Structure 1
Amino acid sequence: MANFDLIVVGAGLHGIAASRFYLDINPKCRLAILEEDTCVGGVWSSSRLYNGFWSQSGLRMAGFSDTPLTLPPEAETYHDIFEAKYVTKYLEDYVDSHKYNGLTLRDRVKFGFKVESIRKEGKWRVSGQRNDKVETIWSSKLVVATGHTSLPVMPDLPEQARFKGPVLHQKSFGKASSTILASSSSYHNVTILGGGKSAADMVYDSVKAGKTVSWIIRQTGEGPAAFAGAAGKGPYKNGPEIAATRMICALSPSCFSPVTWWTKTIHGSEYGRKLIAKIWLGADQACRDLAKFQSREGARPGFEKLESTTAIFWCTGPIGMIQHEDFWDTIAKNVSVYRSDIRAMRPNSIVLKDGSEIESDVLFCGTGWSRHYPFLAKDQIVEFGLPHAPEDEEDAEESSKWENLLKAADHQVIAQFPQLAHPPPHFERPTNITATRLYNCIAPLEDKTIAFLGDIDLSNSFRTAEAQAIWLTAYFDGRVELPPREEAEKEIAYMAAFSKRRYPSHGATGNYFHMDLIGYTDKLMKDVGLVSHRKGWWQDLVSPCLASDFKGIREEYLSKFGLAVEKDS
């Protein structure tokens, strides 16, 4: 029987970060990483690469703090943005270069392990399929780091069985594109469904491969994404660096940031709110100006249907970044754009509700991801405080308590941030599930030996993963204690109420905080009592939060707490 001190489910960004920092502090820990794929990296893995896949953050914001991500001299960059394949190589090298107690991180990965069941029977019993055999292992502590890009959402297409070509999710695009987009391929007419960044990438790649490309954006969905330019200004190499400064983040209300005279001025006064609204409307207009939807020379009829109605401040629709100088020209002059839902599938075509019929050999779906844990039973989902259907709760008193907590928290959010009471018209995602009840979107209140990482939407995964790994290590080692139960529940309810008000199209599950990267990661570090990520008041205000900011955090942690005391299991 295989026994471990810690099992990490998932070898993506968050699983790697958690394993590395935990072993930094607990080098003799018997740690195993379970990965369903045959390679590490999750969304960045070699199995999911494709030509148009680029990083959404610049080089200075990528990588972990202890090992810089570097590019070869021949690497193509665009305002310091770079191809995703370099992140893939970085992560592959990372798991080989980090060794603890004679084993590298890669040595600890059990590849091809599909977790099917997790149960606590004194210790955590983790069972799954590996090499066509059932395998069971045990652990004192457990981290679930499967993230939110593991389980594809596929649309229910009417009469799909009649369609002769493949219907594939964006998750499969990397593997499939090498054959489907090849010049010798029999697939000539490629259709992409979806309005977000992944759909845009697939459209661009398909055009560059010489295919006839159609782009369908459903009338009943969020609509097309707002795509910002990558260029930075002054000392900032790109747009994400500007967005990752505390100066700019202060223009967005955050439930994680402390209340100061400045936040009261800009978010509590009528003058401050009008000024901020003007700034964010300017950002919306900048996206439209970049694309020139109504005036781009040589654009095909229908290009104007890509004009987004997303309000960037509110994140009411998909948001992305342009990573190719010729992106809009390529799309405008080569792609047939449709804004309609699919009415029927035919053997070699797709019929839309507006009457259009699109000749198609293959359909790629950029239709998002499902955020659930198929290896957890309903009672576990409820117990851990993960989003769940209200009818799954057996304790009516507990359900009523959370309902009251959320109502009180909503009043608090509106009192602190009055502008959030008046969102613009927006797509409202149907939901019949509760908000998350994880403390810091990581820790269940009912069990101190399990945690969930990556179950939060923020704008930079590297910084998020490293901050969560540090907090988790301190939490599992008893260096951080959760507040008393009543106080913890109020904090969770406040975060959930804020998420729903701040991001009305996506925040109902209480873990969407796209513009709260700095506030959230600062809070995690404050909980642990660490300051190595700060640069001094002026630089903190105007400098972007970079990967290197956490560079001294291990040394500060060890100076404060020392190595963890090894315990016999």
Structure 2
Amino acid sequence: MVQERTQADLDVIIVGAGLSGIGAARWLKVKRPGDRFAILEEKPRLGGTWDLFRYPGIRSDSDMHTMGYAFKPWTDAKAIADGPSILSYVRETAEENGLLPAIRFETSVRRASWSSAQKRWRLEVVEKGEEKTLTARFLFGCTGYYDHHAGHLPEWAGCDAYRGRLVHPQFWPEDLDVTGKRVIVIGSGATAVTLSPALAETAAHVTQVQRSPTYVVSRPGEDAFANGLRRWLPDRLAYAATRWRTILAGRLRRRRFARDLPGAKRLLVGGVARALGDAVDWRRHFVPDYWPGQQRICAVPDDDFFESLKAGKCSIVTGKIDRFTPSGLRMEDGTEIEADVIVTATGLNLTFMGGMALEVDDQPIDPAKLLIFKGFMYSNVPNLVYFKGYTNASWTLKVDLVAEYACRLLTHMERRRLTQVTPRAGAEAFAKTGAALKFTSGYVLRTAHLLPRHGAAFPWIHEQDYLWDRKTLKRGRIDDGALDFSDAPVVLPPAQRAEAPARLAAE
């Protein structure tokens, strides 16, 4: 066992150097320039999702004028951007804001423990193989919502008998070349409809095998409005105008869909019918048995997936898999599909705070017993903010709002010499609880019982509504009666007192 080293005290520890972590750090640096913070990233590189996923065709499933940060214009011509471009955008943000020195790469958090006596989070971490302890007043969780170490893989009969190559998109092998090979892609979500046309460019043939259809909509890869506006306006103004146009259009579309679900279904399916014509049996493969809004809609840029289907480079089989065979798959209806490579685009495993263990005053925290406060804090857990985005809009829209709110919260506490903030949930908040995510997607249904929940009423219920969040988080009062603040003095071990920031030592 390597001896632990107690590090100097920090104001904020940010866990994760992906889209959320870099965004939160930038807000912190601009709004709270005197704060000492560190970004802990378990990988040797920044980027999070956009560094982890490296499968062919990887791209955003949201418009980059809203998925980009509020403070940094997206200037690339493509609005539905590829993974490398997004990764470059995140790296540029880190470099432009001087954040790279704050990132501690190859550092994973095993346990985070809050002490009410010391008013500190104590993190047990492993940094480049060495066990260490870090302490901070505040903890920002920017780990996303899924397990980076394991994707979801169903149990199929005969899987071990398959003689070809079996690949999960979350861990795409660098040496995989599908040129001239027969490929099966199992799945119907965004990953599957992204992979299929990308692999079909060189593969002999790609067969997408799906248990049931998903809503798929074609969108232009480039935003003509945004690209035209940039010819006449500075990047920042053009970006802001495009961003608000996209936000408001999305809001109107969701409201229209909610008022007429059958009409929304006809509109979405009709778009696929027009794109495919008689080339593919769209009634069998593209008419879902659920209503729009119950799962994410897959975006197809510039009809690429549909064009692959019409050209015969891809095909779709809808039905249940009976078993793997040495040469491929057998469906329940007896259909045999041969393949040299099978890609299991079967989804993610959701997790809370990157899977780290949490404790408050030596009591283990069960995430399933927590209520979510306004979408980013948790019942009876002090000084913790967890950055998660929207499911019905771009992820970063919510991250920006939460980061700005978190900075306002820290400033409010500093001015009043407060050391602890806790969303207190009484029995009335727990009187009625429900799953926070209303999706019927498999990755949600598999793990919803393990994750924090909604409570009986606001602030323990949050809707996926950007304009409401903007009003309550950006302009609402911090001390609105929903949070419990404490001004108890900080108790530090003597060895740490000299190292604590001067502002905290004065407390």
Secondary structure of the residue that 2:197 maps to in structure 1?
A: helix
1:157 and 1:239 map into 2 onto residues whose CA distance is 46
Contact kept in structure 2, 1:236 and 1:242, CA below 8 Å:
no
| Cα distance per residue 1:533-559 (max 9 Å; x no partner) | xxxxxxxxxxxxxxxxxxxxxxxxxxx
Find the counterpart in structure 1 of residue 182 from structure 2.
Answer: 189
Structure 2 distance, partners of 1:370, 1:59, is 25
1:350 and 2:329 correspond: yes
Deviation per CA, 1:248-296: give whole Å up to 9, x if none. Answer: 44963xxxxxxxxxxxxxxxxxxxxxx8666443332222222228962
Structure 1 residues 360, 247: CA separation in 2 closer, same or farther (over 3 Å shift)? closer
Contact 1:459 1:514 in 2 (8 A): no
Taking a change above 3 Å as real, the CA distance of residues 250 and 360 of structure 1, as seen in their structure-2 partners, is: closer
2:208 to 212, 215, 218: 215
Q: Does 1:13 align with 2:19?
A: yes
Native 8 Å contact 1:153 1:369 kept in 2: yes
Q: CA deviation at 1:196?
A: 0.7
Name the SS of the counterpart of 2:476 in structure 1: helix
Compared with structure 1, are the counterparts of its residues 84 and 517 closer, same or farther at alpha carbon in structure 2 (3 Å cutoff)? Answer: farther
Change (3 A) 1:276 1:6: closer
Aligned mates of 1:114, 1:164 — CA distance in 2 = 36
1:168 aligns with 2:167: yes
Task: Give 1:91's aligned amino acid.
Answer: V
* Displacement of 1:118: 2.2
Greater shift in the superposed pair: 511-520 or 8-17: 511-520
How far the C-alpha of 1:515 sits from its partner, in A, is 5.2
Q: CA shift at 1:34, angstroms? A: 1.1
Any conservation in 1 of the 2:11–2:35 contact (CA below 8 Å)? yes
1:370 to 326, 346, 349: 349
Cα deviation for residue 95 of structure 1 reads 0.6
For 1:244, give the aligned amino acid: I
Q: 2:469 aligns with which of 516, 520, 525?
A: 520
Instruction: Give 2:112's match in structure 1, choosing from 100, 103, 118.
Output: 118
Q: Which residue of 1 aligns with 2:230?
A: none
Q: 1:148 to 1:276 in 2, by over 3 A?
A: closer
Alignment of 1:532-551 (within 5 A): none
Q: Aligned residue for 1:307?
A: 287
Task: Give the alignment partner of residue 306 of structure 2, picking from 325, 328, 337.
Answer: 328
> Unaligned stretches of 5+ in structure 2?
1-5, 228-240, 455-460, 479-500
Matches within 5 A, 1:369-448: 369-373=348-352, 375-377=355-357, 387-388=367-368, 437-448=371-382
User: For residues 222-267 of structure 1, what are the alpha-carbon distances to aligned partners after superposition, in whole Å with 9 as ceiling and x for unaligned?
Assistant: x322112325999689999766217944963xxxxxxxxxxxxxxx
Which residue is equivalent to 2:273? 292
Check conservation: 2:206, 2:314, Cα contact below 8 A. yes
CA distance in 2: counterparts of 1:134 and 1:167, whole angstroms: 35
Percent identity between the two aligned chains: 18
In structure 2, distance between residues paired with 1:81 and 1:294: 19
Pairwise CA distance, 1:2? 1.6
1:180 maps to: 176
Measure the CA separation in 2 of the matches of 1:111 and 1:448. 26
Taking a change above 3 Å as real, the CA distance of residues 327 and 228 of structure 1, as seen in their structure-2 partners, is same
Whole-angstrom CA distance in 1 between matches of 2:380 and 2:425: 13
The match for 1:199 is 192
- Report 1:83-94 matches (<5 A): 83-94=82-93
Equivalent runs, 1:500-515 vs 2, <5 Å = 503=439, 510=453
Q: What is aligned with 1:134?
A: 131
Q: Secondary structure, in 3 states, of the residue corresponding to 1:200?
A: helix
- Structure 2 residue aligned with 1:560: none
Paired position in structure 2 for 1:283: 264
Q: 1:483-537: CA deviations, max 9, x gaps?
A: 98458964x888x65956x6566596647988533333433223357xxxxxxxx
Tell me: CA distance 1:482–1:235, structure 2 relative to 1, closer, same or farther (3 Å): farther
Partner of 1:470: 404
Letter in 2 for 1:65: A
1:459 maps to 393
Please tell me the residue identity of whatever aligns with 1:191: I
Aligned residues of 1:142 and 1:450 also touching (Cα < 8 A): yes
Deviations 1:147-186 (A, max 9, x none): 124442222222322223443322223xx3x532353xxx
How far does residue 33 in structure 1 lie from its aligned partner after superposition?
A: 0.9
Kindly report the root-mean-square deviation, in angstroms, between the aligned alpha carbons of the 2 structures: 4.0
Distance 1:240 1:216, change over 3 A: farther
SS in 2 for 1:468: helix
In structure 2, distance between residues paired with 1:463 and 1:22 = 17
Which of the residues 16, 29, 33 maps onto 2:35?
A: 29
Give the TM-score taking structure 2 as reference length: 0.74
Q: Could you say if the C-alpha distance between residues 376 and 131 of structure 1 is closer, same or farther in structure 2, counting changes exceeding 3 Å?
A: closer
Deviations 1:334-383 (A, max 9, x none): 32322233332233322222222221222222222222246444877x97
Q: Cα–Cα, structure 1 residues 65 and 458, in superposed 2: closer, same or farther, change >3 Å?
A: same
Amino acid at match of 2:287: E
1:442-471 Cα shifts (integer Å, max 9, x gaps): 112323222211176341112111111112
Match of 1:40 in 2: 46
Note closer, same or farther for the CA distance 1:208–1:159 as it changes in structure 2 (3 Å cut).
same
CA separation of 1:337/1:141 partners in 2, compared to 1, >3 Å: closer, same or farther?
same
Unpaired stretches in structure 1, ≥5 consecutive residues:
99-103, 253-274, 389-433, 530-563
Contact 2:64/2:81 (CA < 8 Å) preserved in 1?
yes
Distance (whole Å) between structure 1 residues aligned to residue 218 and residue 284 of structure 2 = 18
Could you report, residue by residue, the CA deviation over 1:414-457 in whole angstroms, capped at 9, with x for unpaired residues?
xxxxxxxxxxxxxxxxxxxx6x5121121123232222111763
Letter of the aligned partner of 1:87 in structure 2? I
**Structure 2 partner of 1:63:** 68
- Cα offset, 1:19, TM superposition: 1.4
SS in structure 2 opposite 1:57?
coil
Deviations 1:366-414 (A, max 9, x none): 222222246444877x9797642xxxxxxxxxxxxxxxxxxxxxxxxxx
Residues 40-65 of structure 1 deviation map (CA, whole Å, 9 limit, x = unaligned):
221222x4244423333334324222
Give me the whole-angstrom Cα distance separating, in 1, the residues matched to 2:136 and 2:225.
48
